[in-house]
Structure 1
Amino acid sequence: MKISILCVGKIKEKYWNDAIAEYTKRLTRYCKPEIIEVADEKTPDNAPEAIEQMIKDKEGEKLLKHVDPKAKVIALAIKGKKVDSPGFAKWIDSYAISGCSHIQFVIGGSLGLSDAVLKRADGQISFSDMTFPHQMMRVVLLEQIYRSYKILSGEPYHK
C-alpha cells in the first residue's frame, strides 16, 4: 500500500525532520510512505476572515493538484471522526482489504483546510479537539500509521 501525506508548509526544525525521517524509515517495511509538501501562503497578523478564507482556498488548490483520483483521501480535521489506535489500524486494514492501494492523508496549514479539500476527502479524522502545529501532526500521524501496522502484524509496540 502507498501512504501519502499531503501537507502545507516546509519543516524547518531539525528535530521534526529527524522524527519524520525515523518514522518514514520504519514504515518502509510495511508500506510505501511519501510526503508531499506544498508552499504555505503568508498570513498577515490580524487578517480579516475573508483574507484567511482566500489563503485557505489557495493552499487547498495546491493540495488538490496532488490528489490521486484513485486514492482514498482522508483529511485531518478537528471536526473529523475520532478513533483510538486499534480502530485506526482496523480502518487502514479495511481499506487494504477492499482493494485500496493508495491512501492520502491531508494536513492543512495554520488556518486549516479549505472547504474544497474537505469536500473532496473521502473521510475526515481528528486526533483531538485541540489544535496542534502542522509540523507536530505530521509526526503524530506517521507514528499512528506505524503503530497501526505493528498492531495489524501482531508485533509488540502498541500498549
Structure 2
Amino acid sequence: MRISLICIGKTDESYLNMGIEKYVNRLKHYVNFTLTIIPDIKNTKNLTQEQQKSKEAEQLLKQINATDTVVLLDERGSIFKSIDFAKYLDKKMISSTQHLVFIIGGPYGFDNSMYDRAQSKLSLSSMTFSHQMIRLFFIEQLYRAYTILRGEPYHHE
C-alpha cells in the first residue's frame, strides 16, 4: 500500500519543516509515503471563502486518481486513539487498498466536491491547529501507527 499526504500551501516555520522531514525519513522504513504540497491559491483577497475552497478543490482533485482511497483531515471526522489508527491502517492494508490519500485542506476547509470524492474523514483532535502544525502531527501519528503495528517500543500506553 502507498500512502500520500496532500496539503495546500508551503510550511513557513523551519522548526515544523525539520520535524516533518524527520518523520518522513523515518516512514521510509515502513511504507511508500509521499508528501505533496500544492501552492497556495493566488489573489485570494479577491475571492470569497467558497471561491477559494472551490479553486483549492480543483487543484487537489488533479492530484487524485479514480482508484485512490481518499481521507480528508477534517474537524468533523472520526477521532482515533493512536492504537485504533494503527488498526485502521492495518485493515486498509489487509483489504488491499492500493493508494491511501490523506488531504489537509486550506484555511477554510474543503469544498463540497472534496467531501463528495472522499471515502471518509479523520480528525486529529477536537482542538483547532494551524495547517502547518497538522502536517507534522499527522506524519508523526502515521509513523507511530507503523511502530505500533510492528510492536516497536516507540509508543507507550
1:35 is matched with: 35
Q: For 2:67 and 2:58, locate their aligned partners in 1 and report how far apart those are by CA, in whole Å.
A: 18
Write the letter of the residue equivalent to 1:126: S
The answer for unaligned runs of 5 or more in structure 2 is none
1:143 maps to 2:121 = no
**Partner-residue secondary structure (3-state), 1:103:** strand
2:125 is matched with: 128
1:106 maps to 2:103 = yes
1:26 maps to 2:26 = yes
Q: For 2:76 and 2:136, locate their aligned partners in 1 and report how far apart those are by CA, in whole Å.
A: 20
Q: CA RMSD in A?
A: 1.4
2:58 is matched with: 61
Deviation at 1:111, TM superposition (A): 1.0
1:73 maps to 2:86 = no
- Number of aligned residues: 155
1:84 is matched with: 81
Structure 1 runs of 4+ with >3 Å offset: none
Q: Percent of pairs identical after alignment? A: 40
Quick one: which of 48, 52, 57 aligns to 1:51? Answer: 48
**Partner-residue secondary structure (3-state), 1:150:** helix
1:8 is matched with: 8
Q: For 1:131 and 1:22, locate their aligned partners in 2 and report how far apart those are by CA, in whole Å.
A: 23
Instruction: Report the TM-score when normalising by structure 2.
Output: 0.94
Q: For 2:110 and 2:27, locate their aligned partners in 1 and report how far apart those are by CA, in whole Å.
A: 26
**Partner-residue secondary structure (3-state), 2:48:** helix
Q: For 1:133 and 1:7, locate their aligned partners in 2 and report how far apart those are by CA, in whole Å.
A: 12
Q: For 2:90 and 2:30, locate their aligned partners in 1 and report how far apart those are by CA, in whole Å.
A: 12
**Partner-residue secondary structure (3-state), 1:76:** strand
The answer for unaligned runs of 5 or more in structure 1 is none
